[in-house]
Amino acid sequence: MQTGAITTYIDVGQVALYVFWVFFAFLIFYLRREDKREGYPLVSERSDFIRVQGFPGIPKPKKFLLPHGGVVYAPRDETAQPGFDAMPMATFPGAPLAPIGNPLLARVGPGASALRADTPDLTNDTAIPRVVPLRVATDHYPDPEGPDPIGMEVVGADGLVAGVVAELWVDIAETMVRYLEVTLTAGHSVLVPLPLAKINSTTRRFTVVTLMAAQFAEAPVLASPDQVTLREEDRIQAFFASGQLFATPERSEPLL
C-alpha cells in the first residue's frame, strides 16, 4: 500500500473529504433550522388550518437574556398582527395586495410595519429612552453655526404649508436628529422622519415630497408627548415612506 493509505483503496485524504461532506451537510441542516426561530410556522393563504414549516422543522424554544433584564423565548407564540385593508389582485397564492380605501393607512406595501414592542428603544449603557425631544435631552442643542430648524415651516409635495417645526427629537446614543415635531395647521403635532425632509435655509422651509400637506393630519400620533415607542416609530416611518407610492394615484402607475 502507498504511504498514508488505510487500505488499498482508502487513504487519509479520502476520509478527510468524507468527514468534510458530513460536517457541511450538518452545518446546512443546523443553520436552516436556526433561521426558523422567528416567523415560523408560516400561515397558508389557502387555509387557516395549514401551518407551513418545511424541512427541517422548527427547533425547540431557546431562552435569550435581554440586555436590560427579562427573557424572551424563540420560537414562541406570536400575537396576531392587526389586520390590513387590502385584497389580492389575483387568485393565485402570493398575489400582490391592492390597498382598500386610504392606501396610506392600509398597512401594505411601503406602508407595512411590524408589531414591535410598544416600549421605547433604550440605550445600551444607561437603559434610558434613546430617542427623545430636546425638552427632555436638555444637554443637546442645534448647531449654533447652522440654521435653527425650530419655527421653520414644513410644506408637502404640493407646496402647501402643513405645519411648523416645534421641536427636534434626537437620538442621544448617536447624537443626531431623528424626527421633526411638527405642529400642524389642524392643531395637533406629529413626528416627521428627518431623512424625508429637505431643508432650504434661504426660505426657512422643510419640504417633504412624499406627502401632500393635507395628508400630514392622518399621520400616527404619539400616546405620550415626550416618548416614542418602537412600534410607533415603525408606523410613523411606514406612513411617511408610503406616500412615495400612495400619496397620489399617479404615483402608483408605471413610468412607461
Q: The domain spanning residue 202 has which CATH number? A: 3.90.50.10
Q: Is residue 244 part of a domain?
A: yes
Grid cell digits, residue 131: 430617542
Q: Is residue 242 part of a domain?
A: yes
Cα 126 from chain centroid (whole Å): 24
Mean pLDDT per 10-residue segment, the chain (256 residues): 62 88 97 90 74 87 87 82 80 85 89 87 90 94 87 94 96 93 93 94 91 95 94 94 91 78
> What are the strands, taking DSSP E only, across the chain?
42-43, 51-52, 62-65, 71-74, 86-88, 97-99, 131-133, 153-155, 161-171, 176-184, 189-193, 198-200, 205-207
Q: Domain of 209?
A: 115-252
CA dihedral 114, 119, 120, 123 (to 10 degrees): -100
Q: Is residue 64 part of a domain?
A: no
Q: Is residue 102 part of a domain?
A: no
Helix, strand, or coil (residue 51) = strand
Is the bond into 129 cis (omega within 30 degrees of 0)? no
Q: Is residue 92 part of a domain?
A: no
Q: Is residue 147 part of a domain?
A: yes
- CA–CA separation, 202 and 218 (whole Å): 29
The number of distinct structural domains making up the chain is 1
Q: Is residue 219 part of a domain?
A: yes
* Confidence (pLDDT) at 81: 66
Q: Is residue 1 part of a domain?
A: no
Which of 211, 214, 219 has its CA nearest to residue 235?
A: 219
- CA–CA separation, 105 and 107 (whole Å): 6
